[in-house]
Structure 1
Amino acid sequence: MTPDARAQLEYIAAGGNRHPSSADWTPGLLAFGAGINVALWNPDDEKTSGIWALLAGHTDAVNAVKILDFDDRRFIITGASDNTVRVWRQTTDADSSVPSFEESQCLKDHSSAVNTIATLPGTGVFASGAADGTVRIWQLEEGGEKIELVQAISLKPRFLPLATALAKLPSGETVLAVAGTTAVVQIYVQAGDQFELQATLSGHEGWVRSLDFLAESGNDLLLASASQDKYVRLWRFRRGDDAEADGGAGVSGIEPVKKSLSNKAHRVGSAADQYAVTFEALLVGHEDWIYSARWAPSKSGEPSTLMTASADNSLSMWSIEEASGLWVCQTRLGEISSQKGSTTATGSTGGFWIGLWQPEGKAVVSLGRTGSWRRWAYDAASDSWLQQPGISGHTQEVQSVAWAPDGSYLLSTGLDQTTRLYGEWKRDGTKSWHEVARPQIHGYDLNCITTLTPHQFVSGAEEKLLRVFNKPKATHALLSLLSGNKDTISEEDLALPDAANIPVLGLSNKAITAVDDTTTPEPSADPTTASLNPRTDSGDPTTSSIVPASTLTLSQPPVEDHLARHTLWPEHEKLYGHGYEISCVAANATGSLIATACKASSLDHAVIRLYETRDWREIRPPLAAHTLTVTSLAFSPDDRFLLSVGRDRQWALFERSAEGSEHAYALRKANPKGHSRMILDCAWAPSGGVFATAGRDKSVKVWRVTAEDVELVKTMPVEAPVTALAFAPAIAGGVVQMASGTEQGRIGIVSVDVDGEGWEGAKVEAVRRDLGPARAVTSLRWRPCRKGDGESEQVRELAVASEDGALRLLGVL
């Protein structure tokens, strides 16, 4: 590829990694692990523009993220399952509204996955703990240009560190707390240049997942340790010999503690300046493992507050009650008890893995099992925490993307078994992209997707059938409201279902009818309407089957709880016939015909099946040409041709019959040597009669259909196997554009002047590397032209799906 195609990043959707240490928040920046990348996001951004960059460098999942300010420069320190610790240095001004970072150091001293990182603000000191059973202490020097390994601590008795914390004792010594796959917390204190184990704090009955220090007024330190035993323990570091011996005075709980609480005083520090470490309080109230514990930013005159995130789907805020002097839960955010125990398909979050405070303490965020961030902001007027839109994205590989035929929304589907819908939110001169619905939450990995009409799409998964879905009224109304589209509602729109739910232990979304807020629906005895009022064994309608109309009415993008529960699309039809997992699907321009193929290793299964969408019947016989899996299908813009490519290195061109059914296709031409290696994708040019193919032979080939044959027009070499192709849907200014994506994550743009030299002088121009994914591009789709779009210098939008788990939206000139 030759540089440089003009492109800009408009939107990134990426889910967070489920690891308690994989995120950190400082003023203007929240950094978190998103697959193998590090995502940068500002939750306080009034424009809600979401993630503005992904830092690529790690080759495996990012498990630990910490932000460190040192020598007037900001650093992000990350650890991953690739056994490395990487240091990212800010390259823009410290007060930049959108800072950028570059990798400055890669530390390869660990021999196993890095699971925790702790920093000591203002000193350049940080610690990393890994599954090799060691904790390593590092020192940034020379403004971050150099990093020195201060000490490598081998944990004895051996355990795997999952949580670390660093703090300064008032005497100036550094204290390090380490915990993990053991029930104890080890306390190390710096003596000279080395850290020595000086205390072992026992009491927990499960693994300890989080540690956090708080410097209290009066020269005391508080350490919070959160464990899988469902409890949080607080430990006080007090200078001198005046430590209280009574361990019961500060104990908080709502149920009796089964075993006595020992309050043995541990002595740490130097001989001349000793500290007593005593058990301070036991926080009881969570019903499942506690993954995260974070102290609120300390404020003069205000009580200390600890926030915990648990697998019981709640965030709890703990502080001392003035009347009793006990630590109690003052605020609880998350799901209510009646919603717990539900399956992921009916909206269970699967627990909260991370809870973070805004640096000013006026907002909190939490990461759940679905990879989405929830955000709550404190409202002083109502003295309550109000949930606000967060960000979301796939948590595994994104396999396929598809635009609505009118360009009103974008669909993506992937190996996290979800289909997600994204739309624009336009208000007050500001535009941002958000996940607006989650139409499909499945039990199989999803491989491919295409839209039939603005109200209908079809997806294929690791199962032998395809599923067709209809848009519900709630999604249609919300998309129209957010985009500012005031088009008149058609009869087709009025016929849309209200909403959908998915029965427990089921895979098929069922249409449901919203009820008036003042109406209590009666359970139906008619089995034909059971989907409207599914019943539990006790006879009560389930909460997911009764949706008040007001619940579905929104004025802004939905929060995660709403996305997971109320934005499913009802399933309209299933399409059977294939013998193995679905590999690809395509629809013709009018949406009247679907072509599909499945994984195959023989001629019998490597067939293309056609389904007409009026009566949803298969058109027989299936089209045969390939001997191995068909990897991609594409109809020509005028629906005259159907193109297929496959792992058998050939492409096949089928032509619509001149006589008989409009849906009858027959083989016109097959090229068994179209490429020297397997062909991975194909696409049609908007001008008609021209198509492109690409594959593992590191080339893109352009072909022209003539009256007698199909001729090769141009072969363009690329430096890596090409995994995705897409043509812009229309010719703008006499130029046709084609996008290509490679196995290395590079994106190229080919611009061809159809009135000039044409394809003869075509070259692949590379999009800037930092705008592309860190792994293979799996799918590319240009946004269809919308009403009122001109052919001037408008920015065309290109959706990019990739194996790094992120969906990107690029604006290309």
Structure 2
Amino acid sequence: MAARFELSHAACGANRAGAGAVAWGRGGLVAFGSCRSVVLYDPQKRKVVGTLNGHTGRVNCVQWIYRNNGCQETELISGGSDKCLILWETRSGELVNNTRLEGHTEAVCALDVVSLANESSAESTLLVASAGSDSTVRIWSRHGMEVECLQTLQFGHGFVLDVSLSLLPGSDVPILACGGDDCRIHLYTQQDGQFQKQLVLRGHEDWIRGVEWAVCDGDLFLASCAQDCLIRIWKIHATSPPLLETGEDNAIGLKENIFTMKDNGGMDTSFAVTLDSVLAGHENWVYAVHWQPSFVTDDRREQPMRLLSASMDKTVILWAPDEESGVWLEQVRVGEVGGNTLGFFDCCFSPDGTMVLAHAFHGALHLWKQTSVNKREWTPEVVITGHFSSVQDVSWDPEGEFVITVGSDQTTRIFAPWKRGNQPEVTWHEVARPQIHGYDMQCLAMIGRFQFVSGADEKVLRVFTAPRNFMENFSSISGVSLEKLYFGQMIDLAEGATVPALGLSNKAVFQEDTAVQTTEEEENVNPSSQYCENYFQPRSLTEPPTEDHLLQNTLWPEVQKL
């Protein structure tokens, strides 16, 4: 009788890429690039439901494609370092490899898609813009099964870091925004099948990392972010043709950038572009901005405009205009606390706007959910984790209750099943990160139930033993009794572990080390307690830990060097 296998768990991290690396579809699936694959993750089921393999290089950007009035995604497009884009089409309820778009001579770093209605055909035309490291932006058209490259926009020795497509207000004319390393936003509109430059928007003082369009009340808004730590919101609306200035009007107002073009009927139409707001709240490079998806609530009211931004300052900020004054204000700020991290590359809203997903420098995905009681309070949720570089070795616990892995991302990770009381559903998650090293990990071996040896490029073998806090949390998460885990040896166990400054060895932390001195007299006796290096804080968990907790509070103490 042939053995039958089915996928129980897939652990993976997101690639280190900029805006567009993660996309949350309106059907509920999250798509992101992991190495050469596109991973489809279901946040409700908390598991990977599909993996798309077709790229031969790292996947840098993904985007869902909406048809049927934008209610449900039927296709996905991805771009990678293999210099091509791939359109994935739904067949029999599954996404499969359909079409490759080849033409770039270097890696594809950004893309966007817009669907155009076709009067002569029931099937709409797909317009794709892709930016590559070859200093070009290519415009692709797909109608039916026919795909062609309509145009190549040259940017000389500069690079376009993000692109965004939309339609001009009140028309079906596509407009393209390109943000690049020249600190400018280049606006193009399509005329007679070709994109022509209309305006250059100045204001940012460093590389522009992200641009995205949004439609609200008949006007078109463009959000842009840059390495100058600022976010700018631009507004485009139809206007009358510009008149000669008479000098009689001394009113003070924002400068309008006006361009005129012919619509499909041959009539001249003018559009004005003004700077609507400048948002200053981040303290480091802003890598991505994304608008909340527009949808209609149960009482038929459209959701108000909200903007999400991700930055290298380890924070994600949700912005919204004030209801009375219309001034854009910071509504919510979430992010990473502590740990050796470098901030966020990308972020996105859930389809209903009640959850926020962010992609961090170390490949980790962070998920926050809005509480039903306090709309301004967001709590972290369990989400997929995994290595963001190659996995070099894997080993089972001798009892088969957890898996331990090491990778080139310089980490050792433990994955175990999460058993939620009497619920039949069991999902696997990362429950500990025993070793965060300074060298690429290469091998490991279990030498006991809760003891392992790992080796890295430094040519030293290190022995680790599980601390008390891990045993207690592992028991509550996986449902294994503490008596079965301890075997009467819990007295000598350390509470946890921490890494000293400029050190590579995990130092054991015992219960007396975690006690905090409270009186001024005790601080005077031991002044060094004011600058304690102990970052470990014991936690009692009933569900898998978040990324912040994994980075600081799940280390295992090192007991020997070989």
TM value normalised by structure 2: 0.88
Query: Equivalents in 1 of 2:340, 2:466: separation in Å?
Result: 23
Residue in 2 that maps onto 1:569: 556
8 Å CA contact 2:315, 2:334 repeated in 1: yes
3-state secondary structure, aligned to 1:390: coil
Following superposition of structure 1 onto structure 2, how do residues 241-256 of structure 1 map, counting pairs within 5 Å? 241=240
Q: CA 1:523/1:275 → structure 2, altered by over 3 Å: closer, same or farther?
A: same
3-state secondary structure, aligned to 1:212: strand
Residue in 2 that maps onto 1:644: none
* CA-CA distance at 1:61 after TM superposition: 0.9
8 Å CA contact 1:390, 1:560 repeated in 2: no
Q: CA 1:381/1:349 → structure 2, altered by over 3 Å: closer, same or farther?
A: same
Percent of aligned pairs with the same amino acid: 35
1:369 pairs with 2:356: no
Residue in 2 that maps onto 1:86: 86
3-state secondary structure, aligned to 1:507: coil
Q: CA 1:79/1:374 → structure 2, altered by over 3 Å: closer, same or farther?
A: same
* CA-CA distance at 1:263 after TM superposition: 3.2
8 Å CA contact 1:470, 1:569 repeated in 2: yes
Residue in 2 that maps onto 1:183: 183
Following superposition of structure 1 onto structure 2, how do residues 40-439 of structure 1 map, counting pairs within 5 Å? 40-43=40-43, 45=44, 47-48=45-46, 50-70=47-67, 74-93=74-93, 100-121=94-115, 123-142=125-144, 145-155=145-155, 158-169=157-168, 170-217=170-217, 219-241=218-240, 263-270=255-262, 272-299=268-295, 300=301, 302-335=303-336, 339=338, 347-383=339-375, 384-427=377-420, 428-439=423-434
Residue in 1 that maps onto 2:29: 29
Query: Equivalents in 2 of 1:514, 1:434: separation in Å?
Result: 27
8 Å CA contact 1:70, 1:124 repeated in 2: no
Q: CA 1:268/1:293 → structure 2, altered by over 3 Å: closer, same or farther?
A: farther
3-state secondary structure, aligned to 1:177: strand
Measured against aligned partners, the alpha-carbon deviations of 1:279-310 in whole angstroms (never above 9, x if no partner) come to 11111010000011001123545431111000
Query: Equivalents in 2 of 1:285, 1:361: separation in Å?
Result: 21
Query: Equivalents in 2 of 1:388, 1:523: separation in Å?
Result: 38
3-state secondary structure, aligned to 2:76: strand
* CA-CA distance at 1:321 after TM superposition: 2.1
Residue in 1 that maps onto 2:453: 458
Query: Equivalents in 2 of 1:485, 1:87: separation in Å?
Result: 45
* CA-CA distance at 1:269 after TM superposition: 3.9
Unaligned 5+ runs, structure 2: 117-124, 243-248, 296-300
3-state secondary structure, aligned to 2:259: strand
Counterpart residue type for residue 15 of structure 1: G
8 Å CA contact 2:256, 2:272 repeated in 1: no
Counterpart residue type for residue 513 of structure 1: F
8 Å CA contact 1:238, 1:275 repeated in 2: yes
8 Å CA contact 1:247, 1:263 repeated in 2: no
Count of aligned positions: 525
Query: Equivalents in 2 of 1:59, 1:246: separation in Å?
Result: 61
Measured against aligned partners, the alpha-carbon deviations of 1:456-498 in whole angstroms (never above 9, x if no partner) come to 1110011121100110112111221122112524322342211
Of 541, 544, 561, which aligns to 2:535? 544
Query: Equivalents in 2 of 1:331, 1:432: separation in Å?
Result: 30
1:477 pairs with 2:455: no
Query: Equivalents in 2 of 1:452, 1:522: separation in Å?
Result: 44
Query: Equivalents in 1 of 2:346, 2:256: separation in Å?
Result: 31
* CA-CA distance at 1:102 after TM superposition: 1.5
Query: Equivalents in 2 of 1:22, 1:246: separation in Å?
Result: 47
Residue in 2 that maps onto 1:560: 547
Q: What root-mean-square deviation, in Å, do the aligned CA atoms of Structure 1 and Structure 2 show?
A: 2.7
Unaligned 5+ runs, structure 1: 94-99, 250-261, 340-346, 526-532, 576-813
Q: CA 1:568/1:265 → structure 2, altered by over 3 Å: closer, same or farther?
A: same
8 Å CA contact 1:73, 1:90 repeated in 2: no
Query: Equivalents in 2 of 1:475, 1:534: separation in Å?
Result: 31
8 Å CA contact 2:209, 2:288 repeated in 1: yes
* CA-CA distance at 1:266 after TM superposition: 3.3
3-state secondary structure, aligned to 1:298: coil
Measured against aligned partners, the alpha-carbon deviations of 1:141-168 in whole angstroms (never above 9, x if no partner) come to 22xx33222222223x542111000111
TM value normalised by structure 1: 0.61
Measured against aligned partners, the alpha-carbon deviations of 1:596-623 in whole angstroms (never above 9, x if no partner) come to xxxxxxxxxxxxxxxxxxxxxxxxxxxx
8 Å CA contact 1:523, 1:541 repeated in 2: no
Query: Equivalents in 1 of 2:470, 2:115: separation in Å?
Result: 46
8 Å CA contact 2:14, 2:359 repeated in 1: yes
The structure with the larger Rg is 1
Residue in 1 that maps onto 2:13: 15
* CA-CA distance at 1:322 after TM superposition: 3.4
Query: Equivalents in 2 of 1:472, 1:209: separation in Å?
Result: 43
* CA-CA distance at 1:573 after TM superposition: 0.7
Q: CA 1:284/1:158 → structure 2, altered by over 3 Å: closer, same or farther?
A: same
